[in-house]
Amino acid sequence: MTDHLDPQAGRSPALSLSPKQLAWALVGIGLFLLMAHAAVLFLKYRLGYDYVMGLAPMFSLDEEANVPTLVSALVLLSCSVALALTACSAAGTRMARGWWVLSAAFLFLAFDENAQIHETLSVITRIVVQTSWMPAFPWILLYGLAVVALGIVLLPWFLKLDRGTQIRFAIAGTIYVGGALGMEVMESALYQMTDPTLSAEGWERLNSSLGFTLMTSLQECLEYGGAAYFLYVLVKRLGAIRLQAA
């Protein structure tokens, strides 16, 4: 008698995530965080509750070291992993180096999202470079120069990508950089206009106003939207994500 073996028998369990499923997950997470933040704003500016047993700062887009910060860091880290996988698939070609450079850049951004390295750099820069033209948030200059340098280095690599990928990467980059740097430039200018001395008291007054809070909220939304769309584009290029036990 001949045994007919099940071709599926002996295979390890696997978890697959298609680009469409990833897109819905990212949209759902983004909407949940936005609704939670809207509730925080309502409680703070309408009802006068700005703590709510710690729940308000935990879900506020304007705070650090909370749930939105963790989610943003995980999305950036996922982009780094997806870029590394793309680099592995392009191993042995000239394109692999560009993927690895981007992977390292997003790994740094993920770490910075939680560790707030840019805040430390602002303090150091303001101490070392004492000049009147320095913006309220000096890290903008450092990161702006880094973005320009990275763009120059990766331009030949970028031009070798297919047209569809170029367009999608450009859209994602514009949204993310527009939020991370563009909105910060506007916030820095507003801070300098309202308080030229850049005092801690002036920052507290500005940061507690509803208009400025909405600006920072838009900034966080743009950063999340740009990173999430970039992750979707990367996974779509890879085809899908499949996790399987060895």
The two tokens of residue 172 are: 């994602």
- Give the pLDDT of residue 133: 73
What is the overall mean pLDDT for the chain?
Answer: 90
- Give the pLDDT of residue 197: 82
- Distance in angstroms (rounded) separating the CA atoms of residues 78 and 106: 9
Q: Residues of the chain whose pLDDT is less than 70? A: 1-12, 131-132, 246
Instruction: Read off the pLDDT of residues 135-165 as tens digits, 9 standing for 90 and up.
Output: 888 999 999 999 999 999 999 999 999 999 9
Q: Read off the amino acid at residue 143.
A: Y
In the numeric block, the tokens 């309220």 are attached to 136
- Give the pLDDT of residue 3: 45
Cβ neighbors of 27 (< 8 A, separation 6 or more) are 228
- Give the pLDDT of residue 99: 97
- φ/ψ of residue 243, rounded to 5: -110, 125
